[in-house]
Amino acid sequence: MEIKKAAMAGTLESSDAQVTVEPGSGTIELSIESSVIHQFGKQIRATILEALGRLEVESAKVTVIDKGALDCTLKARVECAVYRSNDMTENLPWGGVIR
């Protein structure tokens, strides 16, 4: 999927993550800030990249500010931000690329 415009999802509350996607320049430029970076940095990055990969996002600047979110929340925030950047809120592929 193409990142058509900047979009954001999530909050800075505990157990949540705020994900911002912006149009990129051909690659994934990922920055992660997390309150649990030492113990979960690797997993957070893997989860974000996996979600972006599933959504076939190949060019984007992605900023994640994580406050200890579980993987299911991280995925939800990435997906929401990506679909918002495409103004899509209906007939989404639940169980397809969103899984």
Partner 1 sequence: MSHPNKKRLRRSMMFLNCQKPGLIKDPYIYKPDSIMLDLEDAVAENQKDAARYSLFHALQEIDYRGVERVVRINGLDTPHWKEDIRVCVAGGADTIRIAKTESAKDVHTVEEHVLAAEKEFGKPEGSTLLMAALESCKGVLHALEVCESSDRLIGVALSGGDYTKDLQTVITGTGVELQGARQQMIIAARAAGVQCWDTVFTNLDAMDVFEEEVRMIKMMGFDGKSLVNPRQIDIVHKIFTPTQKEIIFAEKVVKEIEEKKALGIGVFTVDGKMIDIAFYDGAKRTIALAKASGVYEGDL
Partner 2 sequence: MINAVGREIPKEVLKATGKEAFKGAYAYDNYEYTKAAPRARAMMDPRRSKMVENIHEALVKCEIRDGMTISFHHHFREGDYVVNMVMEEIHKMGIKGLTICASSLGKANDPIVPYIDDGTIVGIQSSGVRGKIGEAISTGRLRDLAIMRSHGGRVRAIESGEVHIDIAFIGAPTCDEYGNMRAYGGKSDCGVLSYAMVDAQYADKVVAITDCLAPFPNIPASISMTQVDFVCVVDEIGNPAKIATGAAKPTTDVRKIMMADYCTQFVINTPYFKEGFSYQTGVGGASIASTISLGKIMEERGIHMGLGLGGITTPMCNLLAKGLINKIVDTQDFDMGAIESIKSNPNHIEISASEYADPFNKGAYVNKLDFVILASLEVDVNFNCNVVVGSDGMITGAQGGHPDTAAGAKCTIVIAPLLQGRIPAICTKVTTVTTPGETVDVVITDYGIAINPRRQDLIECMKDVKLPFCTIEELRDKAYAIVGEPDPVQFGDRVVGIIESRDGTILDVVREIKEYEFAE
* Chain contacts with partner 1 (rule: CB under 8 A): 9-10, 13-16, 69-73, 75-77, 79-80, 83-84, 89-92, 94-95, 98-99
Q: Are 10 and 74 in contact (CB under 8 A)?
A: no
Least Cβ distance, residue 36 to partner 2 (angstroms): 5
Rg, the chain, Cα only: 12
Q: Closer to partner 2 at the Cβ: 39 or 56?
A: 39
Instruction: Read off the tokens for 56.
Output: 């076939």
First-to-final CA distance of the chain: 16
Question: Does 69 participate in binding partner 2 (rule CB under 8 A)?
Answer: yes
Tell me the C-alpha distance between 74 and 43, whole Å: 11
Q: Closer to partner 1 at the Cβ: 26 or 87?
A: 87
Return residues touching partner 2 (CB under 8 A). 14-15, 35-43, 45, 67-71
